[in-house]
Amino acid sequence: MKRLTSLMSGILCLVLMASTAWAYSSYDLDRANRTRDRGDFFEARRLYSTIASDEDYTSDTIRRQAGYFVGFCSIRLSEPENAIKDYRRFLRNFDGGYDETLIPDALYVLGRTYETVNDRYEAKDCYRECIERFRGEFPRKCKERLLMMGEYDSDSPYLRTVESRSTGAAASARKLSGTDPFDGFQMDLQQEKVDQLRNKFETLHAHP
Higher pLDDT, 58 or 91: 91
Q: Sort residue 158 into left (φ over 0), alpha (ψ -120 to 50) or beta.
A: alpha
- End-to-end CA, the chain: 69
- Answer yes or no: are the C-beta atoms of 133 and 170 closer than 8 Å: yes
Helices assigned H by DSSP within the chain: 2-37, 41-53, 60-76, 80-94, 103-116, 120-133, 137-148, 157-164, 168-171, 191-206
Structure-model confidence comparison of residues 208 and 145, the more confident one: 145
Is residue 208 scored above 90 in pLDDT? no
Most confident of the ranges 14-18, 67-71, 190-194: 67-71
Q: Average pLDDT in the 192-198 region?
A: 57
11 pLDDT above the threshold of 70? no
> b/e map of 122-135 (b: 16 or more CB within 10 Å)?
bbbebbbbbbebbb
**Of the candidates 156, 179, 195, 4, the residue with the CA atom closest to the CA atom of residue 108:** 179
Of the listed ranges 22-31, 40-49, 65-74, the one predicted with least confidence = 22-31
Residue 172 to residue 126: CA distance in whole angstroms: 21
